[in-house]
Structure 1
């Protein structure tokens, strides 16, 4: 899955639109919607108490005083609504952020309140909008706050509070960046875990198919041979021998299934050749098989063992062949039959073999022969040798040559 697809899946935006990132905890719990209003009252008390005291000291109530009450307490009420906004759409969060900044600036300008009130908007903003918008809007808000203080003649007395607002906002900015990074790591870990489970399921399905397909096919052929022996000639000793081999195959298959689930089973190319010879003989198919595997590179023998097993299984099941030839090379294996197949039907077996060979940088080709039958070739090319670095002659250190 591509990185942009993962980002869209979890609502993180794409690399080309990184400024559209959601808040860092989008899809998580966010601020507690029940306790936050109580906490917001505690957070706004340092601002509300002096402002309320100043408003209560007014001689008479005028429309202007009422407007100042609305502005002062509007900041506290809007700040208490932060959890409601946290999981809303991006335009809604953007409008709320602009409203909080405008409300804080209005209170500073109209109600003659300490500029520290702007912190409720600038700090909340870093958790609601992408980082680029945070820098832009908070920077504009702080600049406008400085202009308001200059025009009102209060800059000399309150510039320290404005610096405090900027410093705290910057600290919250970096904390928000850290939270976003942690959230992305959590999502990446969840995706890695999901992919690991999917890969393990594919491995088990592929191994069980390769293992049981071959074993059960051989068991079926041998059981059928024992039945035909009993029906035609009544040769009980031979039938008993075939049944003993069936019993041995079932025990071996059960052991291999257990080992496959635990990922301990190793496939041996030489053992697969022996098993293929026995299975083909039971099916009354002539087998032209190599007697040794020494010419095959050791690192490829396990992979070629799987290829041989699946190819022989397909011959026993579908081909109707009378002769099977197996050829081996250092980095390749070929299985050829003279069956009646005129085309290749892709299935789970060929798909699984393709995945195995791709994992080691190899290729699998299955093609129909002109006269009927299939040719399966697996090949793993060797890596290109690196060019040797040119030798350099050491010069004597110091002195004249």
Structure 2
């Protein structure tokens, strides 16, 4: 069962909304220069002050989200573009001086924070130092402007806070990349195990089959009775090899609910996904036990490969088995055709008149796979 991949697995919808809020909430501190602009006696000053502040706020949020997206995707931020963004923010702050007066210094808080988020450490430190020194220097040089100690403190505090946000974003990106790599390795390990088992089984069986077939061909005229015996052995070996192959690739033999629960626990642990599974499997009729085992295998395969989940819960009752996670969930409706694994599961369920439910979890984000049938069946 395959789900349509999310365009950007590193950034879920929750984190996108959080990112916008994290950038926009700081714009509250622009109320000081905005109020100064709105109280200007001349209309053109009010327009210039308000327009430049609005443009400043929009640009700040856009730059923050652009840089944050690149960091989450583990792509570098071009230094030239970073300096251009910092310079443009500073330019908008300066352009608003006719409307904001000395209160334009508040924009330096955002310029310093943007520099910390965009630029390399040493370069951002230079920008922060200049932003912190600007208020006392301009107060000494420009008549009528007062030294704003609160602005200096705000510049330093915002820079320190943005440094923490930068490191948090970086660590979050590295963690998600590591989880993705673990999932990829878990799938690769399973494929390698299957290939190795197939090689071991078929390598031995087909070698013996070839030897016996060659021997039977030579004995066909010399000793027909022994040749018939060898041909019978060839048939037996071929059937045993076929059964072993089916068991190895998880076909129609050897699958059970207890075995799949144990395999699910191992697979989820290898993928770094917290698992909540029953300790023991209930006693079930053979056909139902096999169907429930297939359901657990299909559900866990989806969780490991496609969901991006952090937690998986498997619930088993005499008439129900359910696999749910807290990942991205399906993009299409649950009535869609699904992947090959889901089609096969529906076919097996149909033989027992069982109902298969596939779709979003009703109690929150994530994916739900459930198979139900009457308990008295």
Structure 1 length as normaliser, TM-score? Answer: 0.46
| Structure with a larger share of its residues in helix | 2
**Larger RCO of the pair (alpha carbons < 8 Å, separation 6+):** 2
